[in-house]
Structure 1
Amino acid sequence: MRRVERAPHGGEPDRDLLDFSANTNPRTPDGVRDVYTDAFEDARRYPDDDYPDFRAAAAAFVGCEPEHVIPTAGGLAAIRLALECELEAGDAALVPYPSFGEYAREVQLQGASPQFVRSDDLLEVRTPLLEEVDLAVVCTPNNPTGEAADPDALAALSDRCADAGTTLLVDEAFLGFTELPSAATVTGEHVIVARSLTKLFGLPGLRAGFAVACGERRDALETARRAWSLGTPSARVGAHCLRQADFVAETRERVARERDRLARALEGRFDVTPSDAPYLLCDVGDESVDDVLASAREDGVAVRDARTFRGLDSHIRVAVKDREANDRLLEALGVGDGADEGENR
């Protein structure tokens, strides 16, 4: 096997710091603890490997048929499963940058070669280039920049991939924070969608997600996935969370409101990239990224060093949390609160 280095990620191990380096919901749906506890006794037996309840909940959430859902232990497991099935040594894959570092790593682990395309150019890639690769990856909203793919542009890219005989892998790990439709609603046999539950529902340690595919690709993914790919607690809690429409609506409204407030405040110090996601990418300009990170840590806040993303050399990324936590972030970064004049706090 080719030796490939591990990719850096957010997530702060020091529990004394308020963690803005990982983009997870600070809240979880009501009833999660009870569902998890109730699953304990059944966890003493193997799960039902068909996962009918989880598949039904996931399908309803993204708008596909239950049989098109492939349960996985998180979104990254869905990505690896897709690449294991679609790539082999000597293949090539279009990978966006700056974007999630695991794409290139996972491509390389299959013995294939990543070909990097700027994330804001990827949707415009034409058929001749697509014909030279075996797979293309789209991240929507893109991590770390935060922009979501226009559905029409994504559909047009999907059509060109079909014409070129190229598999399209769409990573929708953060799409649940938006009102945009999933690519699962229009998927063709050349499209695979990867979804993560843990970010939207605030349970990153649970490891629950799924892929969506149809036709022969669905059959290949279903055959290749690990037996008992979700533990009983993950499957039960995941199905419960996916049915919490009010929680999802409240989360989307809060994130949009707080993201706008944070952006206004952060723009007083940094160049902030417009975002559709629960995070903001900030260019610190002539300031030292190391100094910004260290100063925030001294005030009890961890933010993401975004220089670990390909193509970025003067950036940090901050998550969007609830108002109280966001106020602490703004204080640690030495900027205003971003409130509109006269806003009732």
Structure 2
Amino acid sequence: MGERAPPGTFHGGDLDAARNLFPNAPEPWLDLSTGINPVPYPLPTFEASAFQRLPSAFDLLALKRAAATAYGAPGPEHVAAAPGSQILIETLPRLRSASRVAVVEPTYAEHAMAWRRAGHAVETVAEVPTAERFDVVVVVSPNNPDGRIHAADVLVRSASTLAAKGGLLVVDEAFADLEDEGTAGAEFGPSAVRLRSFGKTYGLAGLRLGFALTEPALARRIEAALGPWAVSGPAIAAGLAALPDTAWLGEAAAARARDAARLDRMILRGGGRIVGGTVLFRTATFADGPSLFRRLGEAGIYVRRFPERPAQLRFGLPPDKATWCRLSRVLKPV
């Protein structure tokens, strides 16, 4: 796949871009361009102190304990907390000297871009490499946008090869929490870091909270690079409320899986072919992808498009009955 960087990076959630594209679309917009849980965790009322004082070391340690339990890390010393997983994607490349990096694609474009910006030699590959010519391997599992889950034994072998040379395996598990299968139980060893996104799972992306799960020395380096008070008091309070609530997580996973199946049926009726996804988004190809994107936009519905694959669109989940009906009206066969 070569060394070429993508010509431009398109992100979901950019309603300013949607309004520029479709200035006459009805408001409010229905934003289906992200993979964020549309039914957020019901946060309790926070104490005023969460907003008024700087977070303490005790607060942060409590959050990391909760994250270690939720994500299966050995303990809080294996957790680095951050203001979102995106900042972790940006930080990791700055912690290594110039390296040969493999990014398994097609996937979230920011990974390759972050390593390139930090001066590394990046090559995009179609499969997890086992060859010894790379120092860093980056994998997204479940993958965005096709939902592909990479086999744990393949990742373990890659991690072992990298460990022998002081390399690093990066596994972005931003969409793993609500999936039935994945790599959560695998042990990748000390030369690996896993990234988790709190905001996507709990529908609270605006809080900006994410975690890196890794060996203690790297966790400390990540937090040192982020600096003091990187995670806000409200984000810590939200994490402490939501992460231990396994009952809510199980119910959310089941409900979103039903929603994803409903969306699949709607897409198929509209002439699409499902090519992948997770329970938080579905990716499909359409014979008239660009014209469908336009029809949706003119109706005030924003979905994720891929300029390099114009037939392909990615749909997030509508939050309620009214928005499901709104999407259905546009996707009905014409």
Q: TM-score, normalised by structure 1?
A: 0.84
Alignment of 1:298 onto 2:308: no
Deviations 1:5-37 (A, max 9, x none): 87321004266111100111111222x1513xx
**In the aligned structure 2, how far is the partner of 1:242 from the partner of 1:23?**
19
The one-letter code matched in structure 1 to 2:199 is: T
1:55 matched to 2:64? yes
- The counterpart of 1:93, out of the listed 92, 95, 101, is 101
Deviations 1:48-72 (A, max 9, x none): 1450111011011001111111010
| Gap regions ≥5 residues in structure 2 | 1-5, 20-26
Structure 1: distance between partners of 2:303 and 2:296? 7
Map residues 141-220 of structure 1 onto 2, 5 A cutoff.
Answer: 141-163=142-164, 165-180=166-181, 182-183=183-184, 186-220=187-221
Measured after TM superposition, the shift of residue 284 of structure 1 is 1.8
SS of residue in 1 equivalent to 2:205: coil
* SS of corresponding position for 1:61: helix
Q: Measure, in 2, the Cα distance between the counterparts of 1:184 and 1:318.
A: 29
Would the aligned equivalents of 2:293 and 2:303 in 1 still touch at CA under 8 Å?
yes
Match of 1:331 among 318, 329, 332: 329
Contact 2:285 2:313 survives alignment (8 Å)? yes
The whole-number CA distance in structure 2 between the counterparts of 1:211 and 1:136 is: 16
SS at match of 1:114: strand
Deviation readout 1:258-296 (Å, 9 max, x if unpaired):
2122223312412211333411111123x241x211201
Q: 1:25 touches 1:321 (CA, 8 Å); kept in 2?
A: no
Assess if the C-alpha contact under 8 Å between 1:279 and 1:318 holds in 2: yes
SS of the residue corresponding to residue 101 of structure 2 reads strand
- Matching residue of 1:342: none
Q: How many pairs were matched up?
A: 316
Q: CA deviation at 1:167?
A: 0.5
Of all paired residues, the percent bearing the same amino acid is 25
TM-score, scaled relative to structure 2: 0.86
Paired with 2:289 and 2:238, the residues of 1 have a C-alpha distance of 42
2: CA distance between counterparts of 1:257 and 1:164?
44
The structure-2 alpha-carbon separation of the partners of 1:106 and 1:98, relative to structure 1 and needing over 3 Å to count, comes to same
Superposed, 1:1-345 pairs within 5 Å as 7-13=9-15, 16-30=28-42, 32-35=43-46, 38=47, 40-49=48-57, 51-64=60-73, 65-86=75-96, 88-89=97-98, 91-118=99-126, 121-122=127-128, 125-126=129-130, 128=131, 131-163=132-164, 165-180=166-181, 182-183=183-184, 186-268=187-269, 269-285=271-287, 287-289=288-290, 291-307=291-307, 312-322=309-319, 324=321, 325-335=323-333
**Amino acid aligned to 1:70:** A
Contact 2:151 2:183 in 1 (8 A): no
The residue aligned with 2:22 is: none
The CA RMSD over aligned residues, in Å, is 2.5
The answer to whether the Cα contact below 8 Å between 1:141 and 1:149 also exists between their aligned partners in 2 is yes
**4+ residue runs over 4 A deviation:** 181-185
- Contact kept in structure 2, 1:146 and 1:274, CA below 8 Å: yes
Whole-angstrom CA distance in 1 between matches of 2:13 and 2:107? 17
Call closer, same or farther: CA 1:92–1:295 in 2, change over 3 Å. Answer: same
C-alpha separation in 2, matches of 1:105 and 1:135 = 14
| Equivalent position of 1:343 in the other structure | none
CA displacement, residues 155-195 of structure 1 (integer Å, 9 cap, x when unaligned): 33323333454310011111011133554762411001111
Aligned partners of 1:175, 1:94: CA distance in 2, in Å? 21
Offset at residue 238 of structure 1 (A): 1.6
Are 2:142 and 2:182, in contact at CA under 8 Å, matched by a contact in 1? no
